[in-house]
Amino acid sequence: MPSTTKWFSSSIPGSRNGRAPRDWSSLKGWERRHSVLEGDVRAIVETVGKPDAVGEYFFRDEYILNYLIGTLRIPYIALIDGITMGGGAGLSVHGQYRVATERTIFAMPEVNIGLTADVGGSYFLPRLEGRLGTYLALTGHRLKGRDVLKAGVATHVCDGARIGELEEALLDLQFACPEDVAAVLQKFHEEATFSKDAPFSLQPVLPKIQSCFSGATVEEIFRNLEKDGSEWALKQLEILKGMPPSSLKVTCQVLKRGAHFTLQECLTMEYRTVKRMYKEHNFSEGVRSVLMDRDNNPQWKPKTLEEVTSERVDEYFAPLPNEEDLEF
């Protein structure tokens, strides 16, 4: 069993030395977990088609945990002090509280490795301001530090040097009520000094994100960016043209549907798409290009948007055969 899957299965409730009260749960440790998740992505690719294929249970276990986090009846606190991408995002964004530091880097890079926005991304991304979620999902743009809060991904911030102090303050809350947890988080949030007066780095281009990424299709988004013609727009167009066309189209559809779905419906939909996509050429090619050879020169199949028909996209969303759909 991959190390991340073991970690998933023991993530809730959080505790340390038996001190954590049972009426809240926390999760931390992002820098180390990022390398663990990267290793398991490789394991998924290397075992495709084998009897013990990691992907056959990895995504199922991951999505079920995402759902459990999103439906917890106690406060769940994610201390996202470091790299928070992919699986790390799914383990944080569905919780009630997400605390970022100056070291936090948040992104949804799935499209760049031949998959689609998953771990509940189809649920939380469309619920960010305007078309910001679509922009983050399609481009893989990285949010850093206080920008994670300003984008609506984090709920609080804390100076990185005080994360341990914050955790101790939370652990000292024996039989805490939700109001006590909220008060501790708010105190550290208000006392955080890093980038306190810095504006949201994406603020100047939010109108462009709204106008360009509001297209109903990937082709329309491309046309909007071309029509805009600004340096920023042309840069985003260049980024998108380097992504796998099938992942772009599936992701656009995933976000459109997810805007009207419950978290459970979103995870069921994502499971259908990812269960199919991880077995295809683009996922192994994306992992090779980004994580293994690191040449950033992927050879996608198909290569053009025109080759990815609407009928082909719909096939990714069909119920899985042999009662393989995700069960909660």
Give me the percent of the chain exceeding a pLDDT of 90: 77
The CATH number of the structural domain formed by 3-317 is 3.90.226.10
Q: What is the pLDDT of residue 17?
A: 41
- C-alpha closest to that of 94 among 250, 253, 213, 266: 266
Q: Which of 37-51, 93-107, 142-156 has the lowest mean pLDDT?
A: 37-51
CA distance 16 to 28: 11
CA distance 180 to 269: 37
Q: Are 4 and 42 a contacting pair, CB within 8 Å? A: no
C-alpha triplet 262, 267, 237: angle, nearest 5°: 100
Q: In terms of residues, how long is the chain?
A: 328
pTM: 0.91
pLDDT tens for residues 285-304?
999 999 899 999 999 999 99
Place of tokens 């992701």: 251
Q: Where are the domains of the chain?
A: 3-317
Q: What is the pLDDT of residue 159?
A: 98
Element (H or E) spanning 26, and its range?
A: strand 25-27
pLDDT at 24 over 80: no
Q: Which residue numbers are catalytic?
A: 39, 87, 110, 118
> What is the DSSP annotation of 100-152?
E-TT-EEE--GGGGT--S-TTHHHHGGGSSTTHHHHHHHH-PPEETHHHHHTT
Structure tokens of 237? 């167009």
pLDDT tens for residues 267-288?
999 999 999 999 999 999 999 9
* Averaged pLDDT for residues 9-19: 44
